Structures are given as C-alpha cells and as structure tokens.
C-alpha cells in the first residue's frame, strides 16, 4: 500500500491527489507517449523544517530533455519551480519520492507527436528502501534492452518500460529479486530500472552510454565520487561473465540508491564490499547534507 502525498500538481494547478484523474481516452495511456523523472527528498536531519532534494537541477534538465524528444517544450526552470511549490504544499515529514511526468494529454487514437496536446503533472509518495540494502539476487533476463536507433534512450520514455516490466516480473516469478538486461550486441546494459556497476581488482567498471543504458543521475554521481575518492573508474562494454566473477557488483538508481548484488544466477558473490560500502556511505552523507564538498548537489526548500 502506497502512502501518496496529499497534494498533486495537475492541469496547471495544485489539488488533492485523489482528484487528479485522467480520461481513459488519454493519448499517452494508449501509446506510451510520456516521459517521467524521479527524485528523492528527505527532511533535513539538522532542521526538520527544511527539505533536502538531491540534484534537483539535473533531474529537471533530464526531464526537459525527455519532453523535447516528445516534441514538447517544457523548460527545466518551470519544472523546478513546480517541484519546489509541490514540496512546500505537501510538507513531507519522512523520506519521499517525487514523480514528475510529461505526456500527450489529448484524447485520441492516432499515434503521433505533432498536433497533439501535451501536459505535465507531479505527484509523490513516501518511500524508504526500494530494494533490500543487504543485497539482492539477480538473473539475466531473456528480454533485451532496446536500441537507441529504435527508441530514444536519452529520455526516460514511459513506453520503454514495458521491457523493464517484463524483465522484472520474469525475475521475481522465477525466484529472484531483480533482472539484468543485455543489449542486442550481447553486452551488459542495465537492470530493470537501475544502472549496473562492477568492481574487479580495485577498479570500478560500468557500461558506457553506447551500451543503450539510461543516463542515470545516480550513476553520474557515483562516477564523480569514485574519481574524487581515488578509485579508478572506466566506462566500457561489459561481458556477462565479468559479472559472475566480480569482486563486487551493485545496482544504482534514484529509488534503489546503491544496492549490492549478493547472488547472480547460481553464483554467490563476495560479501566483503569495501568499495560499494565506501560509495554508499559517502552518497548517504551527501544526501543528508553532511558533506560540504558536495553542497551544490543538494537543493534546500524551507517549509514556511
């Protein structure tokens, strides 16, 4: 059962979440012509009358870029202003997740992006751990990640998540927590809604953008932190077998944060995870605004 925040932004106004409703004829519902973002917020541990959002500017820019792929001009500064007001109106008292969504809002049956109305809404829900922080089990999915030549993977396009949904359900119903998808070239791409990181011989490795991954904001943050901590990093194609013999393996994303993988297929992975733990502790300190070096990643919203 989800605990949704009481106020939503819908059709250019704030209203009770329960009153934000779409028609069954909404264009995006039929054709996946939407795009979404997702970001976390927490009450400031040092000041409960202040909310901290992680990398709000990057999330707003990415959603604006996704909207552009849908032929919709939605400036990042407008998204940021709406999210700021959204937080102030909801005054959340615990860890929460914000879901902004852009979509073709017309009522119609013709698949297209031209001559169709678009809109933007925001809602949120309370959210703790999305995956177990103690580690998850994974399998390789029988479904492949889409290619950028057939779907614009530089955006978080809602229609693309049918593949993620198929892979996630296949994993769970076959006894695993999560799925790892390969791309059509046979290389590791990403999990159902997370990026993949491998540690081997003290080096942090992750598939590059050319491997049909989503440009994850948590992924970008981890690479920056690793370099600042002196951990060698490389972005390159990753083979399936590299994951099976990894010293450490973890998933990253806004919802998942940094989640270690403890078992992949029939292979148990090491329980000692020094690099994963170091990155997770550093990222946690940053999100709680305890690391002055990365204060520009934190957007503070005072509650009046």
Q: Kindly indicate the confidence band of residue 108, based on its pLDDT and cuts at 50, 70 and 90.
A: confident
Across the range 67-87, mean pLDDT stands at 98
pLDDT at residue 166 in the model? 98
Q: Are residues 185 and 146 in the same domain?
A: yes
pLDDT at residue 57 in the model? 97
Q: Are residues 152 and 264 in the same domain?
A: yes
Q: Is the pLDDT of residue 304 over 90?
A: no
pLDDT at residue 1 in the model? 67
Q: Are residues 93 and 233 in the same domain?
A: no
Across the range 210-224, mean pLDDT stands at 96
Please, is 145 exposed, middle or buried when counting C-beta atoms within 10 Å of its C-beta (0-12, 13-18, 19+)?
Answer: buried
Distance CA 233, CA 197 (A): 10
Q: Are residues 147 and 252 in the same domain?
A: yes
Q: Is the pLDDT of residue 130 over 80?
A: no
Q: Are residues 81 and 119 in the same domain?
A: yes
pTM of the model: 0.95
CA nearest neighbour of 67 among 157, 140, 166, 189: 157
Q: Are residues 49 and 19 in the same domain?
A: yes
The answer as to whether 264 is a domain residue is yes
The answer as to whether 297 is a domain residue is no
Q: Are residues 142 and 218 in the same domain?
A: yes
What total number of domains does the chain contain? Answer: 2
pLDDT at residue 223 in the model? 98
Q: Are residues 249 and 149 in the same domain?
A: yes
CA nearest neighbour of 178 among 130, 219, 107: 130
Across the range 112-119, mean pLDDT stands at 96
Q: Which domain holds residue 150?
A: 136-287
Q: Are residues 38 and 159 in the same domain?
A: no
pLDDT at residue 132 in the model? 79
pLDDT at residue 255 in the model? 81
pLDDT 10s digits, 153-171: 999 999 999 999 999 999 9
Q: Are residues 216 and 252 in the same domain?
A: yes
**Mean pLDDT for the chain?**
96
Cα angle value 198/157/187 (rounded, 5°): 30
Distance CA 263, CA 244 (A): 9
Q: Are residues 58 and 121 in the same domain?
A: yes
Q: Are residues 51 and 161 in the same domain?
A: no
């Amino acid at each position: 059962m989800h605990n949704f925040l009481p106020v939503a932004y819908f059709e250019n106004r704030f209203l009770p979440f329960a009153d934000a409703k779409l028609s069954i004829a909404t264009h995006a519902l039929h054709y996946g012509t939407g795009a979404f973002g997702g970001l976390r917020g927490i009450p400031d541990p040092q000041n409960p009358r202040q909310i901290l959002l992680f990398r709000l500017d990057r999330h707003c820019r990415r959603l604006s870029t996704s909207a552009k792929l849908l032929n919709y001009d939605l400036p990042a500064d407008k998204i940021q202003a709406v999210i700021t007001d959204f937080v102030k109106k909801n005054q959340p008292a615990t860890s929460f997740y914000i879901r902004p969504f852009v979509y073709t809002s017309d009522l119609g049956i013709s698949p297209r992006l031209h001559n169709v109305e678009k809109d933007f809404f925001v809602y949120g829900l309370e959210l703790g751990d999305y995956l177990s922080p103690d580690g998850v089990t994974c399998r390789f999915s029988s479904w492949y990640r889409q290619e950028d030549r057939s779907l614009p993977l530089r955006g978080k396009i809602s229609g693309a998540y049918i593949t993620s949904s198929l892979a996630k359900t296949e994993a769970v119903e076959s006894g695993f927590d999560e799925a790892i998808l390969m791309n059509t070239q046979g290389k590791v791409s990403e999990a159902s809604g997370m990026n993949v990181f491998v540690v081997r011989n003290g080096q942090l490795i992750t598939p590059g953008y050319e491997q049909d991954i989503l440009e994850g904001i948590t992924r970008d943050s981890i690479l920056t932190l690793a370099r600042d901590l002196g951990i060698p990093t490389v972005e390159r194609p990753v083979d399936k077998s590299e994951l099976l013999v990894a010293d450490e393996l973890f998933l990253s994303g806004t919802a998942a944060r940094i989640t270690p993988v403890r078992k992949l297929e029939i292979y148990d992975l090491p329980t000692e995870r020094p690099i994963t733990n170091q990155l997770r502790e550093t990222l946690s300190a940053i999100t709680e605004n305890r690391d002055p070096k990365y204060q520009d990643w934190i957007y503070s919203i005072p509650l009046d």
